[in-house]
Structure 1
């Protein structure tokens, strides 16, 4: 007969379940990009999954100082604050600045549902990603910015066209990719120029 787990093993389980149920709301937060081949908008939970898989796929191209496990964890938690704050277009600089305090408050509330050890772990991951200063965070930010660009390049510029985005906006917003992965930026820049020629970017 299996030994009965000690009561301590279940400490905090109620809080963990409450957190897991609360973050299900992320599936209802819509991004601006549509799922390829459909007219349905991608939701933020789908984006986070795609981001995490991209981290695994691009791991061989990361610098030695990048902790891929930590980057994957950032991918999974980086947008949880959108449950309270909503999604703001990355090119809407004023909107992103205005929502920053709301996101910080949301992160405290949502991660605060967890028991102390997990609360600290999740919040530290979120803060590291937001600061974008460590090699792991910069690699994470690079992939997070890369994904919607790739989606638009394979979706006839759908969200760029719908939101009136210019080539200059995309180049300026994503230029830091050149510091993290120069060869990728050279590749993307060429395709972005072609996207403008095709009328996908102003």
Structure 2
């Protein structure tokens, strides 16, 4: 890596730091809003812990996808699923934001990150499908674990990401445990 590329990588890393300040519609167990960076960390931790159950998944690629899946939020912020509007292309906006964030990177790195993000959005490969499933499960786990404000809509979790979490068996089992926790929260 030459000096110009190094400068671009450092500029990108400085801009990506914004994910530490980008707040989500999830609260921690201490009652403060969770950052996108914190969500991404636990998503990656889930991938590490469940990897033995998915021997045919390229683990390095899975972790890369998990790390980059919300990078665009460093520019445009998080749009909570509960606040998304039908017909408004969230993915297109996130991709545009990601392209802006990636500008300082050398072409080969920019292309790699963008390709992984596109793969995640399409959810067509085993790695992208697993990343999508774990992303949804991590969000539900946080919703159930968090010290949420009054009126928090736990029932939303019961349908959230269902199309990504019905299989394989381990993912479906985790989903069932989290759905049961959610049902208890809605009753209580």
Fold similarity call, TM over 0.5: yes
Structure 1: state its 5+ residue gaps.
1-7
Answering whether residue 27 of structure 2 is matched by residue 39 of structure 1, we say no
Q: 2:122 maps to what in 1? A: 131
Residue aligning to 2:158: 170
Please list the CA deviations of residues 28-76 of structure 1 after superposition, one character each: whole Å capped at 9, or x if unmatched: 110111122x121110011111111211111011151x11101101111
The 5 Å alignment of 1:23-172 reads: 23-36=16-29, 38-64=30-56, 66-94=57-85, 97-155=88-146, 158=148, 161-162=151-152, 164-166=153-155, 170-171=158-159
Query: Which runs of no fewer than 5 residues in structure 2 stay unpaired?
Result: none
Q: Is the 8 A contact 1:32 1:159 kept in 2?
A: no
Matched-pair contact (CA < 8 Å) for 1:160–1:200: no
RMSD: 2.5
* Greater Rg over alpha carbons, structure: 1
CA contact (8 A) 2:136 2:160 kept: no
Which aligned runs of 4 or more in structure 1 are off by greater than 4 angstroms? none
- TM-score with structure 1 setting the length: 0.81
**How many aligned residue pairs are there?**
188
Question: Could you tell me the TM-score, scaled by structure 2's length?
Answer: 0.86
Structure 1 stretch 71-80 or stretch 90-99: which is displaced more?
Answer: 90-99
Q: Tell me, what secondary structure is at the counterpart of 2:16?
A: helix
Contact 2:47 2:134 in 1 (8 A): yes
Greater RCO, CA 8 A, separation 6+? 2
User: 1:33 aligns to what SS in structure 2?
Assistant: strand
CA gap 1:52/1:14 in 2 versus in 1, 3 angstroms? same
Q: Provide the rounded CA distance (Å) in 2 between the counterparts of 1:80 and 1:193.
A: 31
How far apart, CA to CA, are the structure 1 residues paired with 2:177 and 2:64? Answer: 31
